[in-house]
Amino acid sequence: MDNSRDGASSVGIVQTEHTYLCAAPHQLVLANGATLGPVRVAYETYGELSPQRDNAIFVCHALTGDAHVAGRRRADDRKAGWWDELVGPGKGLDTNRYFVICANVLGGCQGTTGPGAIDPQTGRPYGLRFPFLTVGDMVQVHSQLVRHLGIDRLLAVVGGSLGGMQVLDWAARFPRQLRAAVCLASAARLSAQGIAFNCVGRRAIVTDPNFCNGDYYDQPSGPNLGLALARMVAHITYLSENSIEAKFGRRLQNAQQLAYELMHETEFQVESYLHYQGSRFVERFDANSYLYLTRAMDYFDLTGAHGSLERALSQTDARFLITSYTTDWLFTTSQSVELVNALVAARRHVSFVELTSPYGHDSFLLEVDPLAELLAPFLEQTLLAARQSAS
Amino acid sequence: MDNSRDGASSVGIVQTEHTYLCAAPHQLVLANGATLGPVRVAYETYGELSPQRDNAIFVCHALTGDAHVAGRRRADDRKAGWWDELVGPGKGLDTNRYFVICANVLGGCQGTTGPGAIDPQTGRPYGLRFPFLTVGDMVQVHSQLVRHLGIDRLLAVVGGSLGGMQVLDWAARFPRQLRAAVCLASAARLSAQGIAFNCVGRRAIVTDPNFCNGDYYDQPSGPNLGLALARMVAHITYLSENSIEAKFGRRLQNAQQLAYELMHETEFQVESYLHYQGSRFVERFDANSYLYLTRAMDYFDLTGAHGSLERALSQTDARFLITSYTTDWLFTTSQSVELVNALVAARRHVSFVELTSPYGHDSFLLEVDPLAELLAPFLEQTLLAARQSAS
């Protein structure tokens, strides 16, 4: 571990590891009935697994995240992992105490099998021949990885947004595999407005002439314009109206005066920012993965799958911590309250906090300090209870 | 007037009229310094101008509206004008009492000169060679039309959204030409979030390969996919989260069960609705007009143009009626309150109502009854005051 750059609070240099799960004859059976396997899984771990194997925490990433939660891949890495502020020695997910795992989701494009992977039957990338995926399919792979790592029961599963959907599905699907569930800025189902924005993003991708019905991997360029556009519209939904106003307002990017030029696409700072976000995104994300993962979000509906939300969440004895954020309009507080009400009705242990934050849906990534203050005692108590019941 | 279809409450059959304004040497001088003329203007009128010429009300349409506010163009016309519920005999804008005028905006595509018009210098459609437009340029043309119709002073100017921006600009630019200003679901400037959504919509158009840098008029197809996409994303912003949830929720369009097919683009009702909105829109709207008019919205900033909002609105003695809508997140109540505060500071006469409505930004078009209840006495008092001061 090299802490030279970040000091004692960083997990240091980490490498993404890979393993293969679900090899024949134990292939993964997906929600749509198709089978898939072997599945390559990219994951990272931080901290040490305790001798009792009772201190493992699984982090589920959101739509465009990856397994690289914390630390740096090289000493000169410009950027740390996506939740480096939360995961590390002495941090909210304290790697001095806990063994933290994160894996790229099934269908992703950051090392885990997804539509960009080679289809063993054809020797070519799957593209749209990759099977239809659900959040539950992602959780199945996560669950197998946990068992593969020799862990019977997780201390906690933690995630925000699509990651929070995975947390909820996990608690319903494998109720005994987790002692705690931490669901941030998420919901039991995607709202109609959320489906609508996803629909627009996918439309931008599939109408890009470079999409080639998903078979763009051997082309000079993929559907980069469409993918960037999808990111731009999604990015607006991650910010609050107030934060976008405070951050950019009507300020101009490179001038004191309005240009009065129609095709000046980046005149206002907010335009320049969105274009930048779009163009950076295509460097790291695969358009087909974007299609599959957003569709999995659309499909996620814990109530529909189990008859009622109360029933879906009644099988686990996990303790729940649920947070929403005052300015998040993509996953609203009322959606979190619906979860809380179902858990109360199911007589489960649940803590709920609506955190005040200006950052909209992105708050679950950005408002790390108040989250860490909630997480630390919650996890400590969960571990204490686990050890008391084991002794 | 033929009321056979709609009965006594309709203005009946109306035809769009056309006139040419701003012919040389009195060409229109635009905000960017360019000159334009002659300008063809498409407009409609309803009701009768009083002998005193004091009962004229100008309606300013929003982004995708046109001059056809009320009535039908033919007896078998399937649809009435876009605000037919508000404009007609005995309605909120009572055509038994008032002479109502509406004109397609400069830069539009419904009969008034815009980027799809023939450039007299080249004999071909302007396309992107059309000069850069502002809300003030639109108002200049409206104002000339009013004078052309022999009206010195309007009883009122009424409009919502981009139409409300025209109302505000009119009061600042030609303060003596109106006795009342009715500004619905609008603001003194577009928010950063509004600019962001417009930016995404324009990006969808200009990255469509059929855009051809705006010279698509002689092509087999224009940038229809891009324009439809722009409409889809804009349409989401016109609805409230609650109304989209209530209207569609997670209901499926044509099935009882989820299809688990990635490329089924219209599985959820909300997707089908958005695709329908997009495809219908391209039948009636020109992509270049969409670029010009959204950019005019972005540029609109009454404060920037006059130093302060108070100063901008202090020159008129018009009475103001301002409404916002509880669920409108594109033009929020706080933006209307900013207008009210500036008018109060400028010691102007202002009435403000935040109307409770579930329909988001579209409320100004849909919540006609409460608006009519506000408008009728407001206009009556304005006319009474005008006639008292004249006698």
Average pLDDT over chain B reads 96
Residues above pLDDT 70, as percent of chain B? 98
pLDDT digits (tens, 9 = 90+) for A64-98: 999 999 999 999 999 999 999 999 999 999 999 99
pLDDT digits (tens, 9 = 90+) for B165-209: 999 999 999 999 999 999 999 999 999 999 999 999 999 999 999
Whether the ω angle into residue A25 lies within 30 degrees of 0, i.e. cis, is yes
Determine contact, residues A357/A368, Cβ cutoff 8 Å: no
**Are B271 and A229 in contact (CB < 8 Å)?**
no
pLDDT at A3 over 60: no
**Are B207 and A195 in contact (CB < 8 Å)?**
no
pLDDT digits (tens, 9 = 90+) for A333-352: 999 999 999 999 999 999 99
For residue B125, list its beta bridge partners: B118
- Which residues from chain A sit within 8 angstroms of residue B245, using beta carbons? 191-193
More confident: B2 or A378: A378
d(CA A63, CA B366): 36
Determine contact, residues A57/A102, Cβ cutoff 8 Å: no
CA distance B30 to chain A (A): 11
Helices and strands in chain B, H and E counts: 12, 14
Helix H or strand E encompassing B159: strand B156-160
Helix B287-299 and helix B162-173: axis angle, to 10°?
A: 50
- Which residues from chain B sit within 8 angstroms of residue A197, using beta carbons? 233, 236
User: Residue B2: what pLDDT?
Assistant: 43
- Please check whether residue B250 touches A, CB under 8 A: yes
Residues above pLDDT 70, as percent of chain A? 98
For residue A88, list its beta bridge partners: A94
User: Which residues of A, range 78-137, sit inside 8 Å of B by Cβ?
Assistant: 128, 132
Whether the ω angle into residue A209 lies within 30 degrees of 0, i.e. cis, is no
Residues above pLDDT 90, as percent of chain A? 94
**Are B271 and A199 in contact (CB < 8 Å)?**
yes
User: Residue B3: what pLDDT?
Assistant: 42
pLDDT at B5 over 80: no
User: Residue A391: what pLDDT?
Assistant: 81
User: Which residues of A, range 315-374, sit inside 8 Å of B by Cβ?
Assistant: 329, 332
d(CA A127, CA A121): 13
- Please check whether residue B48 touches A, CB under 8 A: no
Residue among A232, A262, A265 minimizing CB distance to B132: A262
Residue B161 annotated as catalytic? yes
pLDDT at A6 over 80: no
**Are B236 and A295 in contact (CB < 8 Å)?**
no
pTM across the whole model: 0.96
User: Which residues of B, range 285-314, sit inside 8 Å of A by Cβ?
Assistant: 291-292, 295, 298-299, 301, 304
pLDDT at A357 over 60: yes
pLDDT bucket at A41, cuts 50 / 70 / 90? very high
pLDDT digits (tens, 9 = 90+) for B58-114: 999 999 999 999 999 999 999 999 999 999 999 999 999 999 999 999 999 999 999
- Please check whether residue B221 touches A, CB under 8 A: no
User: Residue B4: what pLDDT?
Assistant: 43
User: Residue A39: what pLDDT?
Assistant: 98
- Which residues from chain B sit within 8 angstroms of residue A250, using beta carbons? 189-190, 192, 195, 301, 304
Residue among A32, A208, A271 minimizing CB distance to B260: A32
Closest chain B residue to A224 measured between Cα atoms?
Answer: B207
- Please check whether residue A31 touches B, CB under 8 A: yes
pLDDT digits (tens, 9 = 90+) for B288-320: 999 999 999 999 999 988 899 999 999 999 999
User: Residue B8: what pLDDT?
Assistant: 73
Say which residues have a Cβ less than 8 Å from residue B260's Cβ, sequence separation at least 6.
Answer: A31, A32, A132, A299
CA distance A187 to chain B (A): 14
User: Residue B74: what pLDDT?
Assistant: 94
User: Residue B88: what pLDDT?
Assistant: 97
User: Residue B390: what pLDDT?
Assistant: 86
User: Residue A256: what pLDDT?
Assistant: 86
User: Residue A104: what pLDDT?
Assistant: 98
